[in-house]
Structure formats: structure tokens, C-alpha cells
Structure 1
Amino acid sequence: MSTFTHGTAVWDVACPQHPSRVAGVTMAGFHVRELDALRMVPHPAVTLLLEFGAGSPVLDCAAGRQQRGSIVAGPGFGSGGTVRVRGENVECVQVRLSPVIARAVLGASPAELDGSFVSLGDMWGREASRIREQLGDVSSWQDRFALTDALLARRYEAGPPVDPEVAWAWQRIVGSRGLARVDGLAAEVGWSRKRLWSRFRSQLGVQPKRAMKLVRFDHAAHRLVAGDRAARVAADAGYADQSHLHRDVMAFTGETPATVAGERFLAVDDIAWPGRGTPAGPHVSGDPRLGRRPEVGRIPR
């Protein structure tokens, strides 16, 4: 257990001792005594917020919408700086799912989230209540991580995979830090640009161009939090110039790069997700459902 202090806020942060049995899953545990209007910064992952205990986080969204309890949110959730979370004595396990495995784990396409969120109960029914009770019944964070991991692994094994061409394209986008080109990706897998665009959006919940912008922003935002100057970040992250970086940061967060550099949501990542925790998707392995590069000429038509 580590402690993260930002201003008057004190967070207890726990990390799993072992990686998930499912590639593309990362987790962290949080206990926050006073959570006051924390801005949700978009991230290139599907997020599960599994709350338990006496407190309950409250999401305040645009147009006055509020949501209490556990949620599932699509890639880019919080764009425009329109979502904040608050609460007292909040305890939760936060899970980041690579979009490549999210459809299998959720039992539904992330496209149904459309960059927003739904109550976990609306998606999983009674299973959402059971996981909340089970998390509250165990006394250690490591037991909570093990319980959550077993649930995710079971759902993943039973769920539908994405096309290997789509998984490969996602990995190329993440590996290039958002600098790949859609036409180039389509050519690599032997698909038309239109076909890749359609399959990518329907299976991962985000369009390829949007995914590239989101991955590039995520890298740039963490560089800003680390103290790098905006001009250097813009140049290294592939932005045309510093104004281009400024526009993207404003579009994703509603704030300037200077303000984003002090965001609590991003600053805690170095503790909660060492290496920044951006899920690059499952690494290529023996699992045929993962993102192995498709062989040209043997792609199903």
C-alpha cells in the first residue's frame, strides 16, 4: 500500500503483486477519504470502476447527469473535461481493459458505450451486485485483486474475440504512440481502409483516427505531468507544433497543457500503474485470439 498526497487529498493506493492472467488487464486499488471533484482525464482503455464498502463514488457529468456506484466506461471517457468524480470514504478497484479484450470481458462491444459510460449493473445484472459484495467481504487488497482477476479471466474465456487484423492494428497504433497511418495499417493486414475502419469501430468502440489521437494525447499528457516542457512534448509526440498540442489537450480535457500538468488523475498513475499503465493490448503469445500479425493472403474475406 502506498500513499499519494495531492494538496489536501490523501489516497491509499494498492497494486497487484502479480500480473493479471489475462494480457491487456491492469488493476489498482484506491481508498480516498475525501474525493472532491476529481476531473476524469480520457484514457485509451475501457475502464471498470468496481466500488465496495461504506462509501460510494458519485460521477457528475454534463447536463446534470449523475451516477453512483460501479460503472464501465468506454475509451476516451471524460473527453472535454465534462466528468468529475467525488465522494467520501471511497474504496474501489479500478480496472483498465485493452479495447482488444474488452468485448470478450464485457460480453458486449465497447462501441455500445460510445465513449461514455453505463452502470455496471445495467451491463452485468446481478453479477455486478455479487462482485461488490465479494470485494467487501475480503480483507486484503491482494485478495480483491485475485477475486477480480478470476472474474475477468472467466468472462474473457467465454467471450467473443476481436478479429486478429483489428487486434494487430490496435497494437500498431499503441506501439507507434498514435503516429501510425490508417492507410498503412489497412495495407499491412490486406484490408480496404473502409473495412478496417468499420471493423475497428464496431469491435473496439473507437474509430482508428480517434484511437490514434487518444493514444498520442495520453503519452503527451503524462509527459507534461512528468515536468517536460510543452514545446518538447509537442515535438517528441508528433504534433505539428505547440499550438496543435494545445488544441488536442483542450479538446480532451477542457484545460490548457499547463493545467493538465498538475492533474491528480494523471499524477497518481506512476504509483497505481508503474510505467503509466497504458494498456497496449495483449502481447503476442500462443493465444490465437491475441493480436498476432495476420498472414497476407490468408486473411478471411
Structure 2
Amino acid sequence: MTGADEPDWAVCLPHPALRALVGRYIGYRQQGVTLGVHRGLPGQHITVIISLAAPVRLVGMPGSLQGPGRWQGLVGGLHAGPALIGQDREQAGLHLELDPLGVRTLLGVSAPELAGRVVDLTELPRAALADLPDRLREAPDWPTRFATLDRALLDCATRAAPHRPPGEISWAWQRLVRAGGRVPVGALATDVGWSRRHFSERFSREVGLTPKQAGRVVRFGRAAEMLRRLPKGGLAEVALSCGYFDQAHLSNEFRSMAGCSPRTWIAEELPFLQDAGKLDGAP
């Protein structure tokens, strides 16, 4: 368990050999949590959560057949609706951001197999992941835990034959992410030299979402990040910056993908968002 003298938040980039596959590691510790259910929002990463306290409780995954469950360590695939997570008053753990095109190498399963689902780490075909919750819980501090993650993921990556998606799909995914989801599917297909139908089928087989769904999720994730540090122009500025028609369009999309309005989400999650926002730009 985390020590009382540790910082509540810590962030670390993975080992350089992992950075094409993993975005960052985030360690967190919270006490006196009053929000009973946290909304895990759609975004561009596949997420691994490892609890250092009580198991993570999935209350529901709207739009999915996934039922409630409890896991000490889990991986959540790309999704287009909120993952509803029950919260205890005290919680601690680690959050990993994985690139969808890298999960087959790291986890031994594809992004489409994970889409809209939560899977126990012990069910994955990677022995180095099964006892990670125990090893991380025994570690004395965040740097040691991050180093433990590096070793486990490097072991997964080096023991497995690397999966290399078609270059056209990797390029299209990276362009979509860089553009915040604001690239028409037809333009992506034309640029890689494929028909729209062929491109959509190949993209879906690698990412787990259609190009249109992926663009929508990436754009929504960009909007949610802006809401963490709401600009002076408020929701209207966020809508304009992220390519929504207007504030009403953003609000409707938020209700669809978060299950609530932007203002409700800010009101519910603001204490967490303010603390998590301190991680931005950290080494």
C-alpha cells in the first residue's frame, strides 16, 4: 500500500523502448472520496488500472453486454460510452495509457477483442501481468512501482513476436490522433490509396472501432481534456476548438458519450480533475 508521506499523484513516462506502445504511467492516492460513481470517459487510449487498495468495481458499461464486476487489475478497451466505476472513500492505484495498435504486442490480445469490454489482467496470455497487483502493492514508492511496470511490460514486449499493423493503418491512426479526430474518413482512405470500404474494414480490424467511431472518440477525448482546464471562453470555446458545430452540439455529444452534460461532469469530477491536471507536463 502507498505510504502516508507519498504524494497523492505521480506520473512517469515508460522506458524509451516502450514509448511507441505506452503513453504514460499515472499513480494516484485519494482519501475521503465522496463521489460514489466515477465516469470513465471514452478516449484514444486503452486503459490498464491496477488497484493498490480494494478491487476496482465496475458498476456498468452502457451500450455493452458487460455486467458488473470486481478486479484487482483490469484492462479496458476503447469504448464510446462511460465506464461507470464505483469508488471507495480511500483508493490508490496505477493507471496506464496504452496505444490501441500496441496492445497485441504487450497484452497478447487485439484492440477489437477488448473494445467495449473490461478484462481481468489474469485472463490475458501474458504471465508477467498476472501478479502485477501483488508486486506493485509490495513496492515502497512510486518510482519503484514505475520501474516494476517497465520490467513487466518490457518482458511482455520482448518475449512476444511484435505485431506490426499495416503501415497505412498506423499512419491513419496517428494522423487522426494528431488532428483531434477531425479528419474525414474519405480523406484518410484517399491518402492511403485504398477504397473507403477496404480502409474501414482494415482499420476496424486493428483499432476495434470504425474510422468514424474512432474520430468521434478522439475528438471527444480532446474536448474532455480541455474541460479539465476550462478556457476563458467556456464551453463555446471548447466546442469551437474541437470541431463541434456549436456549444449545443458539444453538450449533446457529451450526454451521449458521458451520460451527463458537461457542466454536470465538471461539478461531479472537478476536485479530481484539478489534482490530475497537475500531472500535465510533469517529467
Q: TM-score per shorter chain, which class?
A: 0.7 to 0.9
Kept in 2: contact 1:48–1:96 (CA 8 A) = yes
Name the counterpart of 2:84: 83
Q: SS where residue 209 of structure 1 aligns?
A: helix
Q: What residue is the counterpart of 2:26 in the other structure?
A: 28
Percent identical residues: 29
CA distance in 2, matches of 1:241, 1:38: 27
The aligned counterpart of 1:290 is none
CA distance in 2 between counterparts of 1:93 and 1:141 reads 9
Query: 1: CA distance between counterparts of 2:229 and 2:147?
Result: 31
- Give the ranges of 4+ consecutive aligned residues of structure 1 lying more than 6 Å apart after TM superposition: none
- CA separation in 2, counterparts of 1:51 and 1:127? 17
Q: Number of residue pairs matched?
A: 261
- The one-letter code matched in structure 2 to 1:28 is I
Distance 2:101 2:127 in 1: 25
Match of 1:12 in 2: 8
* Matching residue of 1:200: 203
Q: Which residue of 2 aligns with 1:43?
A: 43
2:216 maps to which residue? 213
1:73 maps to: 76
Q: CA deviation at 1:240?
A: 1.6
Q: Name the CA distance, whole Å, in 1 between partners of 2:112 and 2:96.
A: 18
Offset of 1:123 from its aligned partner? 1.9
CA distance in 1, matches of 2:174, 2:92: 32
Counterpart in the other structure of 1:235: 240
2:146 equivalent to 1:149: no
Q: TM-score, with normalisation over the residues of structure 2?
A: 0.83
Q: CA separation in 2, counterparts of 1:33 and 1:126?
A: 32
SS at match of 2:124: helix
Unaligned runs of 5+ residues in structure 1 are 1-10, 277-301
The C-alpha deviation readout for 1:173-193, integer Å capped at 9, x for no partner, is: 011111111111111112221
Distance 1:164 1:269 in 2: 34
1:117, 1:107 → 2: CA distance? Answer: 15
Residue 212 (structure 1) shift: 0.7
How many angstroms does 1:164 deviate by? Answer: 1.5
- Offset of 1:145 from its aligned partner? 0.5
State the shift of 1:44 in Å: 1.4
Instruction: Please give the alpha-carbon distance, in whole angstroms, between the structure 1 residues aligned to 2:198 and 2:273.
Output: 35
Distance 1:200 1:184 in 2: 14
Moved more, 235-244 or 245-254: 235-244
Say which SS state the counterpart of residue 86 (structure 2) adopts: strand
* Native 8 Å contact 2:128 2:156 kept in 1: no
Aligned 8 A contact 1:49 1:92 in 2: yes
- The one-letter code of the counterpart of 2:121 is L
Aligned to 1:279: none
Q: Distance in 1 between matches of 2:135 and 2:83?
A: 32
Query: Which letter maps to 2:254?
Result: V
Whole-angstrom CA distance in 2 between matches of 1:144 and 1:161: 29
TM-score, normalised by the number of residues in structure 1: 0.78
Tell me which of the two structures has the higher relative contact order, counting C-alpha pairs closer than 8 angstroms and 6 or more residues apart: 1
C-alpha separation between the residues in 2 aligned to 1:250 and 1:215? 16
Cα pair 2:129 2:152 within 8 Å, conserved = no
1:255-281 Cα offsets, whole Å, 9 max, x none, are 112223342454444234x159xxxxx
- The corresponding residue for 1:102 is 103
Root mean square deviation, CA, Å: 2.4
